Structure 1
Amino acid sequence: MGRGAATPAMQTLEAAQRFASPAQAAGALAQRVGEVIRYGVKARGRASLLVPGGRTPMPVFERLRTLTLPWDQVYVSLTDERRVPPDDERSNARLVRTHLLQEDAASAHFYPLHREGVGSRADEAACGAALGLLPRPFDAVILGMGSDGHTASIFPNDPALPRALDPATDSRCVATRAPDDPRERLTLTLNTLLQSRWIALHVTGTAKWATLREAVDSGDPRQFPVHALLNQRHVPVHVYYSP
């Protein structure tokens, strides 16, 4: 770590919850999300959950769907999406339907972000409209991180990065471009993600942990967008890590 007073990012990393295996981390994260959902429904009559795509959260989804929760009062959407057809195997919405919205969890209300066959600005508007159907602040948000330090679909060196990280933006969603296929993406802006009561960053593998440490030490959200998530004081970020 760098010298001087600890930044919010440093404090968040130091408080990371470490687990011996990915299965243990996924189980603990699913249990905690379940507790947040139960509390939200009890306190406000409904709860909202935002989840990422990719392989890392699949064990979390599969544990979460087995929990006894008031699923018919839970509103689910995504932190980001690949702009592909909903039945494409790379679609995050398809992943959520396949691995989370099964059994009792199938009664949850699900709002995909991407509208097929429209341009980027119209897709941003459709994404914003979908999010408007969820209770806010969001009760629970799960995020992941890529090996390049991106989170959601907020990528380094992307022309859309300033819009995605702008703390004053009115945009709920931004069309971005990934460094690998499928390149066309849709992401919630950082400002939208932070309109949350509870946020988890789920990181698996020693290589990604090294990237996370490098992001914190760099202090540069342009190089490592995840730094902007960690280095803010609006809402705590709970890191769940396993090798």
Structure 2
Amino acid sequence: MKMPELDLPQGIEARFETTPQLVAQQLADAVSDFLKDRLDSAPRASLAVSGGSTPLPFLQALSRKEIDWGRVDVLLVDERWVAETDEASNTRMVKESLLQHNAAAARFFSLKQAGATPEDGLAAANAELAALTRPLDVLILGMGNDGHTASLFPDAPELAHAMSPENRETLAAMRPPSQAHSRITLTYAFMRRARFVALHLKGEDKLETLKKALSEPGGVFTMPVRGFLKSGLQIFWSP
């Protein structure tokens, strides 16, 4: 396969493969190695993953890795404010794909809590994350064709607050008009401190979106993923 041409800022590493399965295995290998190294020098490690269909083969591959999972904290970077039984629930997806096999021993922190709205459940969600290992050790992000990542949507009225580098909060409630569900997300300020950050993408459309994001790196409010396009990022992509 001819490698895509990207004008990457210095310090960003890109890995391209011919199939989603190969990319999933490479990403699982990289995350596993990082977590093992981290656990050699720390009592616990934390892993924040994204929902949707793209991460599924990665999560399934990672679940079988021989890591001391009992010392790993797992959470989602964001969640739709729906019941876990709902088909749109990423919590359900993570439990069915990642928290299986060896990874069943991990400690899971749920963003979705009781309450009719994410605002109602925000205090409980923050309480849930009180024991989370901080800063994040591993952060796995996805990206939408509008340039959103996590639930940092360009059209969300709460975006400026959620994207502020000075924000000391871990979580934000989000209500993007373009989406069917209200959401809860980790804030940009919290995520940007992660030790290992990867952007996991699939499809030519996502490659074009990435090129657009790279072309104007300063416009973080029009394409919030731009906030993570900096030195240290690892990009994993397949057609």
TM-score calculated relative to the size of structure 1: 0.90
Q: Give me the whole-angstrom Cα distance separating, in 2, the residues matched to 1:117 and 1:107.
A: 28
Q: Which residue of 2 aligns with 1:34?
A: 32
CA RMSD of aligned residues (A): 1.7
**C-alpha deviation, 1:180, in angstroms:** 4.7
Q: Give me the whole-angstrom Cα distance separating, in 2, the residues matched to 1:217 and 1:75.
A: 35
**C-alpha deviation, 1:90, in angstroms:** 1.1
Q: Which residue of 2 aligns with 1:139?
A: 137
**SS of the residue 1:226 aligns to:** helix
Q: Which residue of 1 aligns with 2:3?
A: none
Structure 2: tracts of 5 or more residues without a match: 1-6
**C-alpha deviation, 1:40, in angstroms:** 1.7
Bigger drift between 33-42 and 143-152 goes to 33-42
Structure 2 matches for 1:1-243, cutoff 5 A?
10-11=9-10, 15-219=13-217, 220-231=219-230, 236-243=232-239
**SS of the residue 2:145 aligns to:** coil
**C-alpha deviation, 1:130, in angstroms:** 2.6
Change (3 A) 1:12 1:116: farther
**C-alpha deviation, 1:21, in angstroms:** 1.4
Q: Structure 1: which amino acid aligns with 2:164?
A: D
Q: Give me the whole-angstrom Cα distance separating, in 2, the residues matched to 1:42 and 1:171.
A: 29
Q: Give me the whole-angstrom Cα distance separating, in 1, the residues matched to 2:155 and 2:11.
A: 25
**C-alpha deviation, 1:118, in angstroms:** 4.3
Q: Give me the whole-angstrom Cα distance separating, in 2, the residues matched to 1:124 and 1:12.
A: 35
TM-score calculated relative to the size of structure 2: 0.91
Q: Number of residues paired by the alignment?
A: 232
Q: Which residue of 2 aligns with 1:3?
A: none
Change (3 A) 1:43 1:138: same
Q: Which residue of 2 aligns with 1:4?
A: none
Q: Give me the whole-angstrom Cα distance separating, in 1, the residues matched to 2:117 and 2:83.
A: 14
**C-alpha deviation, 1:35, in angstroms:** 0.8
**C-alpha deviation, 1:181, in angstroms:** 4.6
Q: Could you tell me whether the CA contact under 8 Å between 1:12 and 1:239 is conserved in 2?
A: no
Identity percentage of aligned residues? 38
